[in-house]
Amino acid sequence: MTLLIIAIICGVLLAVYIAVALVLKAYDLHSPRGWLLLLLDCTWSLPNTLLGTLIGLPLYAIFGRPSAAQTRGQGWVSFAPRSTTGFGNNVLQTLGTVNLGSAGQHERMHLLQARLFGPAYLPIFALSYVVTFLVQGGFTLLVGLILKATGVRRRAALQPPGKSAVHGFFGWIYYATPFEVWAYASGNP
């Protein structure tokens, strides 16, 4: 019974995503590539698509508005930010096949990563955050505090580069995760 309920919830979320994607013409269904991407997002990359639908669609609707121009034929649903600063402008985000702010190479890389790694993408992403958090915490407590106390460093924590979207203690954790390193290396932030 529990599996049936989960299957129904997943089916409803998938139907919502497909409906939004079709209305905004996210997939070019006049080409085999468009059909292949839609099939990929609804099968192999399904957990990522469901995450984008469950969290991305309602969250991004608060901070942005669906953008037909940024979505049409791009293989994802994109929201344009409502304001000129903040979330969607200075901080862009992609959850599965749903994006807020931009079709820049960095965010497109996250879409590609989700499609390549499929169901393993989210667990690997989560594990990489745990590992980089432990490295940051360990460095800060074991080495960073000593370096700060002796005047070698101004801060105890590892610091992210200036191009990182997140700064301070958590900025390095964000920036040093393998999927983020890969996305930053692919082009624009």
Average per-residue pLDDT for the chain: 91
Q: Give a yes or no: residue 178 inside a domain.
A: yes
Same domain, 89 and 175: no
Same domain, 83 and 19: yes
Q: Give a yes or no: residue 116 inside a domain.
A: no
Sheet of 77-81: strands edge to edge? Answer: 64-66, 77-81, 98-100, 93-95
Give the lowest-confidence range in 58-62, 98-102, 148-152: 98-102
What pLDDT shows up at residue 40?
97
24: confidence class by pLDDT, cuts 50, 70, 90: very high
pLDDT of 27 strictly over 80: yes
Q: How many other CB atoms are there within 10 angstroms of residue 160's CB atom?
A: 21
Q: Give a yes or no: residue 160 inside a domain.
A: yes
48: confidence class by pLDDT, cuts 50, 70, 90: very high
What pLDDT shows up at residue 161?
85
* Final residue of a structural domain among 103, 137, 169: 103
Higher-pLDDT residue of 104 and 65 is 65
Length of the chain equals 189
pLDDT per residue as tens digits for the range 138-173: 998 989 899 989 999 888 888 888 878 788 888 889
For 34, the token pair is 């468009």
Give the chain's domain count: 2
Same domain, 7 and 97: yes
Q: How many other CB atoms are there within 10 angstroms of residue 53's CB atom?
A: 25
Structural domain boundaries, residue 21: 2-103
As a whole-number percent, the residues of the chain with pLDDT over 90 amount to 68
Give the lowest-confidence range in 3-7, 19-23, 79-83: 79-83
